[in-house]
Amino acid sequence: MKDPKTTYIPTVEAIQDAADKLKGIASVSPLEKHTRFSDKYECNMLFKREDLQQVRSYKIRGAYNKIASLTTDETKDGIICASAGNHAQGVALSCNLLKIKGTIYMPAPTPNQKIEQVKMFGKAYVEVVLVGDTFDDSFHQAMEECKIYGKPLVHPFNDSKVIEGQGTVGLEIVQQSKVPIDYIFIPVGGGGLASGLSSVVKALSPKTKIIGVEPAGAPSMSKSIEKGEIVKLTQIEKFVDGASVKRVGDLTFEICNKYLDEMTTVHEGKICQTILEMYNKDAIVAEPAGVMSIAALDGFKDEIKGKNVVCLVSGSNNDITRTSEIEERALLYANLKHYFIIKFPQRPGALREFVVDILGPNDDITHFEYTKKVNRENEVAVVGIQLKDQEDLKPLITKLKARNFFGDYINDKPSLFLSLIHI
């Protein structure tokens, strides 16, 4: 489609072999109609529920297929992997089932919930090593260990057996659907799922359009396809930990460049809105990477109207301790949460004036923190205010300035915002 020089394409036969190997290991996850989203987008919306796997993501598919394909001699000293979380759980369970020792390198900021799940699934067969701030940092350390000890690496995406295992998701979708599929929306991190799924879907249902979705803060596949070669990002937003990589794989880039019909990105705040919406309205608990395909739908609402659409709910490994951050990011994205530096005149009644005369009747103070006194006339505070309607922002700022309370608006000043507000 885009790159005729692709050197490796997983065959339908190879993906079927992976499906056979995964029988009794990975569930054939439901492909179920979602009425609310069908009504919202005026289409036939189907969710592929990979969040219902035992390890609560599709990653068991590729991990098990890879490890089960290794010889006894190759695994006698154990295996090594690097992962931001979900691949690690798949590897851990696979090691436990196959009775193979594994060392799993994970970024230090990985949610604790994912770390504990890895240990639970792997039991005595796995050791978790926390290193670095990103997947790429962990991967570098894992590669060094592989060189030293000669152990095989179970790569989370840039491996043919992993790609073929992930491709079983696409095989199931085609087999399960009772109608021709017009669109499939899938999350993209390193590209393992996108490579396997797109290969088998394009072979069995060539008219299906496949849309890859990345977090706006880590568009490594989008940038690479746009340039026609792999681009390594210098910095990434790490919030969507299951899909934030600086560099996609060599194998996955070639396949995605060939088979993905389009790449798009979604803002992390929109992802957070979608997480909360699905939890509150559908009782579906999903992680940030798990809802990316759904978060992207607003940008395609005209295109998918009247069509048969599949969205992959790819994982549900969300740490409850992140809930406040998710809510914060969602409110900021919706322009309902705003932070100011407020100058309080040093006179009696200033705070009361701010609360009674400046704030609107529906405005809520969610953050209030005094900072160092800057002069005799004013006391400075960082104040977070949640609005009921985004249109209330302009009149609020007008009243702040009119009464000389306005110091600065810091939502749009990233360096200042991050130094004062901890989310």
Residue of 314, 316, 337, 343 marked active site = 314
Query: In the predicted model, is pLDDT for residue 83 greater than 80?
Result: yes
Confidence of residue 419 (pLDDT cuts 50, 70, 90): low
> What fold is seen in the domain 12-58+160-326?
Rossmann fold (3.40.50)
* Total count of residues recorded for the chain: 423
Q: What are the tens digits of pLDDT across the range 119-129? A: 999 999 999 99
Strands (E), 34-93: 44-49, 79-82
The position carrying tokens 């290991």 is: 25
Known catalytic residue: 314? Answer: yes
Q: What are the tens digits of pLDDT across the range 92-111? A: 999 999 999 999 999 898 87
Confirm whether 12-58+160-326 and 335-420 share one CATH topology.
Answer: no
Residue of 21, 59, 209, 343 marked active site = 59
Query: In the predicted model, is pLDDT for residue 6 greater than 80?
Result: no
Mean pLDDT of 152-174: 97
Q: Are residues 242 and 85 in contact, defined by beta-carbon separation less than 8 angstroms?
A: yes
The pLDDT of residue 134 is: 79
Query: In the predicted model, is pLDDT for residue 1 greater than 70?
Result: no
Query: In the predicted model, is pLDDT for residue 362 greater than 70?
Result: yes
CATH of domain 60-149: 3.40.50.1100
Known catalytic residue: 59? Answer: yes
Measured CA to CA, the distance from residue 128 to residue 106 in angstroms comes to 7
pTM here? 0.91
Query: In the predicted model, is pLDDT for residue 84 greater than 90?
Result: no
Which 3 state secondary structure label does DSSP give 265? strand
Q: What are the tens digits of pLDDT across the range 180-216? A: 999 999 999 999 999 999 999 999 999 999 999 999 9
One-letter amino acid for residue 31 of the chain? L
In sequence order, the 6+-apart residues with CB closer than 8 A to the CB of 317 are 56, 57, 85, 86, 89, 111, 113, 114, 117, 242, 287, 290
Query: In the predicted model, is pLDDT for residue 3 greater than 60?
Result: no
CATH of domain 335-420: 3.30.70
The pLDDT of residue 374 is: 56
The position carrying tokens 């705040």 is: 269
The pLDDT of residue 319 is: 81
Measured CA to CA, the distance from residue 419 to residue 4 in angstroms comes to 48
Per-residue burial over 41-58, b = 16 or more CB atoms within 10 Å of its CB, e = otherwise? bebbbbbbbbbebebbbb
Ramachandran region, residue 108 (left: φ > 0; alpha: ψ -120 to 50; beta: rest): alpha
User: In 78-159, which ranges are continuous DSSP H helix?
Assistant: 86-98, 112-122, 135-149
Closest by CA position to 169, among listed 10, 41, 296, 282: 10
Confidence of residue 4 (pLDDT cuts 50, 70, 90): very low
Q: What are the tens digits of pLDDT across the range 208-242? A: 999 999 999 999 999 999 999 999 999 999 899 88
Ramachandran region, residue 422 (left: φ > 0; alpha: ψ -120 to 50; beta: rest): beta
Measured CA to CA, the distance from residue 231 to residue 221 in angstroms comes to 8
Question: Domain-by-domain residue ranges, the chain?
Answer: 12-58+160-326, 60-149, 335-420
Confidence of residue 377 (pLDDT cuts 50, 70, 90): low
In sequence order, the 6+-apart residues with CB closer than 8 A to the CB of 47 are 30, 31, 32, 33, 34, 37, 310, 311, 312, 313
